[in-house]
Structure 1
Amino acid sequence: MIRYRSTNCAAPAADLREALMRGQAPDRGLYLPERFPTLDVHTRRSFAEREYADIATQVLAPYTEGLLAPDELAELCRQAYDFPVPLEPVRDEDRVYILRLDRGPTASFKDFAARWMARVLSRLVARSGRPLTILTATSGDTGSAVASAFHRVPGIRVVVLFPREEVSDRQRRQMTTLGDNIRTVALNGKFDDCQALVKQAFADPALEGLNLSSANSINVGRLLPQSVYYFYAAARVAGPEQAVDVVVPSGNFGNMMGAVIARLMGLPVRRLVVPVNRNDEFPRYLATGRYEKVVPSRACLSNAMNVGHPSNLARLIAVYGGWMDETGRICQEPDLAAMRRDLYSVSVSDDETRAAIRQAWERHRLLLEPHGAVAWWGFQLYRRETSARPVPTVVLETAHPAKFPEEIERLLGFRPEEPAALKALDHLPESCDTLEPRYEQFRDYLLALPRP
């Protein structure tokens, strides 16, 4: 059975149940599997003909051993993944594909992890009989996916914090129109302020009675299911032993860590391309070897990526043999040469993001929203700046273009067709609380909530 260790190395190793329920380790580190099971060539070859839920069951089975029975995991995956996962070849491009992760109930890639986590945690809460409070900080899509996935789940209450001025109208409404066991808090601050409050709450003894957990990507339960779609895509665009390039637009780097996990499990990812927006702390670190947070984080068109200090960098640094603490201080240097070999990162401006949306549509009839556009522009720079031979490439589109209708209309002259779930939002009432980015106020808010 796989155990989970903290990136800060000062907490005891945990089983998956404890890691899921805690979210953050007691030493304020993040849980990471002590080992990564390898999927052999025969197994990966079989993925080309299998449904997404079946692949998820195969990939996640080693991690859930001892927690979920095989048939229980399979049923859970079938329930979570009941929507399409399109993989589209890009017109007039050789072996370049767009993986559209935007067809779930909240039109975001966050649905893949949130729906899986909700089903696992609901089972754990039912078994223990102990109510759970989930704290989630969001810069855009995480909050809506988590709120949707956990809506009306018995015994679980969700509190979502988001920066009041930096989420789109659609993203806000996806969180604030649910009610029931979902509470939303608009913070007069940045995403990093939201994330800091959540992390501080996990370490506060005064809140132990609330049985806190997280559905942010600080929870390892978010990362594990996000590794699945890399196996799914690679099996459809390349042979089981053929290398692929993967392009992942990144903010808090949870999605990127899903790709890293897939590689550690045997997926032949040649280069992981990690474009960011103007929050450029990671490409600067790769270039200089010095890590400096962006404080305050910069508000960009690709708002779900407005993160000045990505939590999951602690996990990436750990994978490469280093140690980054929860404040962003690198206490032990990783193998930077290996990171530079395996990853490529570049910062993309809002002007470049808009140019990418226009060019993708005009040249390829490829409709992208700002986050996917950051990925596309970063991919173009990667191709120009490197001389490596082309290999099959998967570029992630992480949100539905209809979540940014005004921007698409300004750039392309039309509004994307809305999924039914987004259309209904305009007619639902909203409910939201507002707080300042002060921990004492947030702690008092949590203590005053009725028990789930």
Structure 2
Amino acid sequence: MEEGTQYYSTNLKAPHVPFRKALLKGLAPDAGLYMPLRLPRIPSDDLEALTELTYPELATEIIGRIIGNEISSVDLLNICKEIYSFGIPLELVYDRNYLMRLDQGPTASFKDFAALLMGRLMQHFLSQEEKHITILTATSGDTGSAVANAFYGLKNIRVIILFPSGEVTDMQRRQMTTFHDNIQVVEINGKFDDCQRLVKAAFMDPLLSPVNLSSANSINIGRLLPQSVYYFWAWAQLSGKTTDDFIFSVPCGNFGNLAGGLIARDMGLPVKHFIISTNDNDEVPLFLKTGIYKPVRPSRNSISSAMNVGHPSNLARIISMYGGNMDENGIINKSPDLARMRQDFYASVISDRKTRETIYSIYKEHGKILEPHGGVAWAGMQKYCREHPSDENNNVFCVSLETAHPAKFLDEIISILNIEPELPESLRKIAGRTEEYIYLENNYDALKKFIIQNY
């Protein structure tokens, strides 16, 4: 493998670091987010060769090109073969409109793809250095369960997961709180944005430096890179031709999934448009429309709970990719190329009512069951296709991302469809496990005291 690129902070005030340090640190010392200085461009001939690869081989090829010789290709392939043992169904709905189901992993969420690889890479590097870290991460739903599962039992890593009161489903909570040992789950009396703010405050607190904190949510570059791979997978399985255009509809909350898609595009994947599909937290669609960014505070509750984010961290990365600069508080110091962003993105705001109508209609018309986040993405794609009929006529591939298993939202699905989706084995097996978690007020001093006393 070639030497990997260096990583810069989106706040532009921290030294460049290699991938290993960016991964283990999580947040840059200037409170910015790490991004690769350059991405390798995959030639057309090499792209078309990807169609012959299994998913573990594809992940090894894509991730290996980005991080270079920081890990051997043999070690990386062995990790990918071990963790990516589940399928990625691409279901034809009609014409060239597809669902990509990213819900077949051990916690029935798309976040398994990134959490599993990130955990193993962290453990690999920490074992080499004989070091230990403490993961502190915030979750709006599926991140917590994916991280708890992926990091459970890793010898060099302890984990603290913060989740907002009343904003995750019972199933999502049980998926986090039934892992013990090196996993500690904390309920915070606040919103997801509050949890994220507490995490960032802890990272910047010098009194907590002995704890050696890092992050496992999408502020960590280790979460984004693996999420680029399944975009390549969709293209390779459905077409494999660089002359074919693809449109991806992405349900967006903290915008890490979209950032992963942009990484894939910048590496050479032929993408015509990304559809930004949000719920009522519409700060990014409004920014694209007006050029003025105003976070939604407090964030608005919607049934697509993992997307209830009023100030997405990864927007700073996306703005950086378009030549701009945004700090951790959402202040834009340098405007991005809005004209190019508007050309690349189509933004759609989907209400809860429209989400429910979409879940009902796709089931009645096509026999497909979607959960709320997938419903938002499918509704956004339908709206795009109505406004751009020429794309359908020109045989463009349209792929909508389904990011969680419908069984994780049983009450909502039963209410809409009057059916109960079958629980996958990964969800059935947690039924008899004991939950353990603690409660803290939405107060940084309380969190800081807990960390100092216990870690």
Distance 2:123 2:243 in 1: 38
- Indicate the RMSD between aligned Cα atoms, in angstroms: 0.9
Q: State the secondary structure of the residue aligned to 1:159.
A: strand
The aligned residue for residue 13 of structure 1 is 16
Distance 2:174 2:20 in 1: 32
Q: Which runs of 5+ in 1 are unaligned?
A: none
Distance 2:385 2:334 in 1: 32
The aligned residue for residue 242 of structure 1 is 244
Q: State the secondary structure of the residue aligned to 2:16.
A: coil
Matched, 1:84 2:97: no
Q: 1:47 aligns with which of 47, 50, 74?
A: 50
The aligned residue for residue 432 of structure 1 is 437
Matched, 1:330 2:332: yes
TM alignment of 1:361-440, pairs within 5 A: 361-390=363-392, 391-440=396-445
TM alignment of 1:26-425, pairs within 5 A: 26-90=29-93, 93-238=94-239, 239-390=241-392, 391-425=396-430
Bigger mean CA deviation after superposition, 74-83 or 223-232: 74-83
1:388 Cα deviation after fit = 4.0
Bigger mean CA deviation after superposition, 239-248 or 320-329: 239-248
Distance 2:83 2:434 in 1: 27
- The amino acid across from 2:84 in the alignment is Y
Question: What do the CA deviations read for 1:249-307 (whole angstroms, capped 9, x no partner)?
Answer: 01000000000000100001000001000100000011111000000001110000010
- The amino acid across from 1:133 in the alignment is T
- The amino acid across from 1:369 in the alignment is E
- The amino acid across from 1:427 in the alignment is G
- The amino acid across from 1:129 in the alignment is E
Distance 2:267 2:170 in 1: 39
The aligned residue for residue 448 of structure 1 is 453
- The amino acid across from 1:314 in the alignment is A
Question: What do the CA deviations read for 1:325-360 (whole angstroms, capped 9, x no partner)?
Answer: 000010100000000000111111111110010011
Q: State the secondary structure of the residue aligned to 1:217.
A: coil
- The amino acid across from 2:229 in the alignment is V
- Answer yes or no: is the 8 Å Cα contact 2:265–2:271 preserved in 1: yes
- Answer yes or no: is the 8 Å Cα contact 2:278–2:348 preserved in 1: yes
Q: Which runs of 5+ in 2 are unaligned?
A: none
Question: What do the CA deviations read for 1:342-379 (whole angstroms, capped 9, x no partner)?
Answer: 01111111111100100110111111000000001111
Distance 1:65 1:337 in 2: 33
How many residue pairs are counted as aligned between the two chains?
448
- Answer yes or no: is the 8 Å Cα contact 1:41–1:241 preserved in 2: no
- Answer yes or no: is the 8 Å Cα contact 2:385–2:391 preserved in 1: no
- Answer yes or no: is the 8 Å Cα contact 1:280–1:294 preserved in 2: yes
Question: What do the CA deviations read for 1:37-75 (whole angstroms, capped 9, x no partner)?
Answer: 011212221222321011101101122223101111111
Q: State the secondary structure of the residue aligned to 1:186.
A: strand
- The amino acid across from 2:208 in the alignment is L
1:411 Cα deviation after fit = 1.0
Identity rate of aligned residues, in percent?
A: 50
1:160 Cα deviation after fit = 0.3
- The amino acid across from 1:241 in the alignment is T
1:26 Cα deviation after fit = 0.4
1:387 Cα deviation after fit = 4.7
- The amino acid across from 2:238 in the alignment is V
The aligned residue for residue 25 of structure 1 is 28
Q: State the secondary structure of the residue aligned to 1:404.
A: helix
1:157 Cα deviation after fit = 0.4
- Answer yes or no: is the 8 Å Cα contact 1:2–1:62 preserved in 2: no
- Answer yes or no: is the 8 Å Cα contact 2:273–2:345 preserved in 1: yes
Distance 1:136 1:366 in 2: 33
- Answer yes or no: is the 8 Å Cα contact 2:135–2:216 preserved in 1: yes
- The amino acid across from 2:14 in the alignment is A
Q: State the secondary structure of the residue aligned to 1:389.
A: helix
Distance 1:64 1:144 in 2: 26
- TM-score under structure 1 length normalisation: 0.98
Distance 2:12 2:388 in 1: 37
Question: What do the CA deviations read for 1:125-151 (whole angstroms, capped 9, x no partner)?
Answer: 111212110011000000100010000
- The amino acid across from 1:37 in the alignment is P
- Answer yes or no: is the 8 Å Cα contact 2:178–2:436 preserved in 1: yes
